[in-house]
A = this chain, B = another copy of it.
Amino acid sequence: MDGSTPDTRSRILDAAAALLRRHGPDKLTVLDVAKRLGMSHGNVYRHFPSKQALRAAVAEDWLAAVTAPLMAIAADRGPPPARLAAWLSALAGIKRRKVLDDPEMFAGFHRVAVESPEVVAAHLGHMIEQVAGILAAGKADGTLPLVTDPEADARSVLTATLRFHHPDLVASTGDAATAEAELARITALLLRGLGATP
């Protein structure tokens, strides 16, 4: 196996994430990663043509890990209204923990992510897609009969719950119980707006 195997790519990404965790976003460079792995930097460049590409891949990995539990909920077979509520609650919980449990680490990954708007846009696209899937299922089985355009409605649902998942706002939502109660109230309002019967 030479340095071009997918395995090397994973090792580079793991090392980069570890560097970011330990030293913050400034140390996340091709040279530092190569040094950490005892690899030539030419070998790192073979997988990531630039520091920017490396950082974008780290951000992509991080966002995928953050939202992996949501995918399972979105793909579930339960009634769409309950699934939407569970999905929104899980998203809020994940974001809350990420932002509040280790704010410094969150800030580091967040900074790397915002450097790559295309990665953030793709992430947001996946989120919209998951919610749109739930809404389309509710439209199809009649549990959310007022869904008109699943994708546009998904955007509305995500925007209306921004306070509970936007990184800059999560920190100011007060204690977890209050935030959960507020989100539950808004979710109920949105579900009724989409035609769900309690």
Contacts and interface: CB of A to CB of B under 8 A. Distances in A.
Interface in A140-178: 146, 152-153, 155-157, 159-163, 166, 168-169
A52 B7 CA distance: 60
A103 interface: no
Interface of A: 146, 152-153, 155-157, 159-163, 166, 168-169, 182, 185-186, 188-195
Given A192-B193, A193-B189, A193-B191, A159 B146 contact: no
Given A162-B163, A162-B169, A168-B168, A156 B186 contact: yes
For this chain, the copies found in one complex come to 2
Contacts of A155: 182
Contacts of A185: 152-153, 156
| Majority secondary structure, A binding face | helix
28 contacts: A146-B192, A152-B185, A153-B189, A156-B182, A156-B185, A156-B189, A157-B189, A159-B163, A159-B182, A159-B186, A160-B161, A160-B186, A160-B189, A160-B190, A162-B162, A162-B163, A162-B169, A166-B169, A188-B193, A189-B193, A189-B194, A190-B190, A190-B193, A191-B193, A192-B193, A192-B194, A192-B195, A193-B193
